[in-house]
Structure 1
Amino acid sequence: MSERLGVTPAQTVGPYLHIGLSWPDGPYVVPEGTPGAFWIRGRIVDGTGTPVGDAMVESWQADPDGHFDHPDDPRGARAATVPGFRGFGRADTDAEGWYALHTVRPGPLPTPDGETEAPHLNLSVFGRGLLHRLVTRIYFPDEPANAADPVLRTVDPGRRDTLVARPAADGYQFDIRLQGEHETVFFAV
């Protein structure tokens, strides 16, 4: 008779994030010098406002034309028109909780219901003490399509600002508060 083993319990990401998950060009969704490229910089803090110095963010986004070079794109995978665009970035935080991603503005995306999602980046947040990644989005402050975005419309109007980046000298700033007052909106996916 064979013994049946139980399910392995969930574990936090742990303090070893920086050992195996980061790489030197991770923050570059597009190469340096790409026309129209900018930085998204932000700070991750916990519920007390303390910087989270051992976290990591991953970004996933459409190209400027609103397409993914991925088989799951219902319109079909299509290579980006931006040379070197990979649609994915990964950045760890420094001791003060700061991260940075170098990218270009994504295009709008069609939904299965025939609506259009405003240009945005999807972010996953990993860190010590988190059993599962946290998923959020970054919207752009100067985007008229935000008002009609079907996902943003589901968010309480008083909390939508936690999903909108702020203009910065070299692009945008998007801070992430993991809990507490002004907590960033996270999505269950």
Structure 2
Amino acid sequence: MSVELLPETPSQTGGPYVHIGLVLTAAGLPERGQEIHNILARSDAPGRPITLIGSVFDGNGHLVRDAFLEFWQADSEGNYQQVYNPENPFNSFGRASTTFDDGEWELHTVKPGSISQGSGKTMAPHINVSLFARGINIHLQTRIYFEDERDLNEADPVLNRVEQIERRETLVARPIGERDGRTLYRFDIRVQGTEETVFFDF
């Protein structure tokens, strides 16, 4: 009896239809009863309120207008909230997508606190990011650090693992002003090219 081997199933990228299941409003669909949004911190959450904005660029420098991002961060005291509850003033997990018109994503949260590793080393305030988009078979993982935490950044054990010092700058969000009483930071992600963002294999 002969056994017929089936060909490998073609790989499928993370986009462009991820919004249909995860960011319904961006796809023009009605929200469900409980959605995970781009607001991690309400106005009554402890800590310094901030807003991050940014765009995603492909290797040719073109905007990726249908990228999807997930964020995971500590609260202002450096603690992660393990259970998502929309009634909490702060949740460690959130989602955002780039808009189809101007290609920007936006995140409303509080400045995360420093985190102590099990080894005793301290990590600078940061936000973990997973990026999904068309043309990407496996999501990309990176981090957002903050330019105004330079001393802590210089001692951060993960940031220091990036051997090319100049490339560490691709992981740093820069303050560009204020909006609605929140410090406004900009962080762009470049998927490929000479200024490619550093991605991690966690």
Whether 1:87 aligns to 2:92 is: yes
Show the counterpart of 1:151. 158
Show the counterpart of 2:22. 21
Q: Stretches of 4+ moved more than 6 A in 1? A: 1-7
Q: Secondary structure at the match of 1:125?
A: strand
**Greater CA drift, 34-43 or 115-124:** 34-43
- Partner Cα distance (1:128, 1:87) in 2: 26
Show the counterpart of 1:188. 201
Instruction: Give the unaligned 5+ runs of structure 2.
Output: 26-35, 179-183
Distance 1:7 1:164, change over 3 A: same
Whether 1:173 aligns to 2:186 is: yes
Q: Secondary structure at the match of 2:70?
A: strand
- Partner Cα distance (2:8, 2:114) in 1: 41
Deviation at 1:110, TM superposition (A): 1.1
- Partner Cα distance (2:4, 2:109) in 1: 51
1:128-183: CA deviation from partner (whole Å, max 9, x where unpaired): 11001100000011112111000000112010100000112231000000100110
Instruction: Give the unaligned 5+ runs of structure 1.
Output: 71-76
Deviation at 1:32, TM superposition (A): 4.7
Distance 1:65 1:33, change over 3 A: closer
Give the partner amino acid of 1:182: E
Give the partner amino acid of 1:65: E
Show the counterpart of 1:132. 138
Whether 1:111 aligns to 2:111 is: no
TM-score normalized with structure 1 length: 0.86
Show the counterpart of 1:62. 74
- Partner Cα distance (2:126, 2:24) in 1: 24
Give the partner amino acid of 2:95: R
Q: Secondary structure at the match of 1:158?
A: helix
Deviation at 1:37, TM superposition (A): 1.5
- Partner Cα distance (1:4, 1:32) in 2: 58
Q: Secondary structure at the match of 2:130?
A: strand
Q: Provide the identity percentage.
A: 48
Show the counterpart of 1:74. none
- Partner Cα distance (1:28, 1:152) in 2: 26
Is contact 2:58–2:190 with CA below 8 Å preserved after alignment? yes
Is contact 1:14–1:129 with CA below 8 Å preserved after alignment? yes
